[in-house]
Amino acid sequence: MRSLPATDPIPASADLACVALRATAWADPVSVASAFADEVHACVLLSGADGWSYVLRRPDRVLEPSGDPASALASMLGAPVSLGDGPPFQGGVVGLAAYELSARLEPTAPQGRTGWPDLVLLRYPALLAFHEGGRRAFAVGRGPDARCAAARADAALSWLDVPRRRRSDGVLARSVALATTDADHAAAVAETVGRIAAGEIFQANLARPWRGRLAPHARPFDLFARLAAQSPAGYAAFLNLPGRALVSNSPERFLSVRPAAGGLWAETHPIKGTRPRGSDAASDAALADELRASPKDRAENLMIVDLMRNDLARTSAPGTVVVPELFGLESYANVHHLVSRIRARLAPGRSAWDAFLAAFPPGSVTGAPKLQAMAVIARHEPPRGPYCGSLFWAGADGALEASVLIRTVSLIEESAGWAFEARAGGGVVADSDPAAETDETAAKMGAILKALTGTP
């Protein structure tokens, strides 16, 4: 991957208080990003719940904080400032928190190393923002003064003129295979059910990996672009790091924080409960109805709702934690999911980063009680790296939007080409059937396998 120089350097603690917006013609963000997708630190965040997508390049500061991460984000953003009209994210920090960041937040959490950074923060002073529903697009620049902000916005506009790369056709994976057999995963589920019966835990999210290597002609961005076309997801993302790349097709919000009446409001959308899509409209509707009525899946979802309520309460004003939606149905290319919403107002003096760290890692991909479930997971899985961590953006106004990194492919550049790993898992509870849990992982991996090989 080629590295380009950063934009004009500014001091590490600079207050990026000035914003410049330049309206521009609508364009497809994936196509725009293809022009420089091989650059180190190129990033694409596709449409979340608010409908906005972002293309970013050339951060002016990159930080892999060591030790306690509590003050790391504030050191990158400076003092909070209010933003005007325009997209929710108007420049700031994009961060990748690996699952193993949990070991730095809680000494009793399982310790493990993967070669991926536990936490990397990238500050982008310019970006392109796209709203597909409104057919709107903006170039955004931030800086310590209006002149600098305007220059950066104008520079971002020029990204639209860079020749775009043709998307790769054909099979993207030279090889892909399960690293854990069906029998071994079913045995892990059965052992976990036994621990639940013994009263050790209530639920644990067990996953298993698929591993392989991209074809010589394929690049990580090709996989991202194909997933975006074939199986769009609310929190799809692409991030290039030196010698590594992340391709996420996640449907799940971890945490959203926005300024509103009374302060900062946080919301999380845990996913628990899954059925495959049907082969025709009638069978598809029947599977969705079966999921909505399933006592096992509703119980699985409710356990995580209770866990996330407790996690949000750690940084929220008393009495503000509510559940506006319980057991909602969301449908994607390969699966139906049960999704709930929990909302709370952060306590005075608490930031979005405080709420993120208090709730990390996401309860939907650990289990309950969280630390005990993580210990059970560590018995059956190698360290996870980005999988089940979070990719997020944090704005200068105190807002934050974070995904759960499920349906995610982690790629490492080696002498023989790009090696990749993708995992899929599910919540194991007292009445889980090992064979059904094993089948569920395959259903969840279907869209990624189709994008890699042409067949699910």
**Residues 362-375 pLDDT 10s:** 999 999 999 999 99
pLDDT value at residue 419: 98
For residues 352 and 257, is the Cβ–Cβ distance under 8 A?
Answer: yes
**What percent of the chain has a predicted confidence (pLDDT) above 70?**
95
Question: What are the pLDDT digits (tens) for 277-305?
Answer: 898 999 999 999 999 999 988 988 898 99
Question: What are the pLDDT digits (tens) for 134-177?
Answer: 888 999 998 888 899 899 999 999 999 999 988 878 899 999 99
**What is the average per-residue pLDDT within 268-285?**
90
Question: What are the pLDDT digits (tens) for 109-120?
Answer: 988 889 899 999
Contacts of 204 by beta carbon, 8 Å cutoff, 6+ apart: 192, 195, 196, 366, 367, 373, 376, 377, 427, 428
pLDDT value at residue 274: 86
User: Given a cut of 80, is residue 312 above it in pLDDT?
Assistant: yes
**What is the average per-residue pLDDT within 120-129?**
96
Q: What stretch of H or E contains 18? A: strand 18-24
User: Given a cut of 50, is residue 33 above it in pLDDT?
Assistant: yes
Question: What are the pLDDT digits (tens) for 369-413?
Answer: 999 999 999 999 999 999 999 999 999 889 999 999 999 999 999
What global pTM score does this model have? 0.92
pLDDT value at residue 374: 96
User: Given a cut of 90, is residue 445 above it in pLDDT?
Assistant: yes
pLDDT value at residue 244: 98
Question: What are the pLDDT digits (tens) for 205-255?
Answer: 999 999 999 999 999 999 999 999 999 899 999 999 999 999 999 999 999
**39, 100, 272, 300: which one is catalytic?**
272
User: Given a cut of 70, is residue 58 above it in pLDDT?
Assistant: yes
For residues 392 and 346, is the Cβ–Cβ distance under 8 A?
Answer: no
pLDDT value at residue 48: 66
Based on the residue annotation, tell me whether 100 is a catalytic residue of this protein.
no
**64, 191, 200, 252: which one is catalytic?**
252
pLDDT value at residue 314: 96
Closest CA to 404 of 377, 374, 364, 444: 364
Q: How high does pLDDT run on average in the chain? A: 91
**What is the average per-residue pLDDT within 99-123?**
93
User: Given a cut of 80, is residue 78 above it in pLDDT?
Assistant: no
Contacts of 268 by beta carbon, 8 Å cutoff, 6+ apart: 253, 254, 255, 256, 308, 312, 341, 342, 359, 362
Based on the residue annotation, tell me whether 296 is a catalytic residue of this protein.
no
pLDDT value at residue 16: 58
User: Given a cut of 90, is residue 349 above it in pLDDT?
Assistant: yes
| Lowest-pLDDT choice from 79-93, 167-181, 324-338 | 79-93
pLDDT value at residue 8: 37
**What is the average per-residue pLDDT within 94-121?**
93
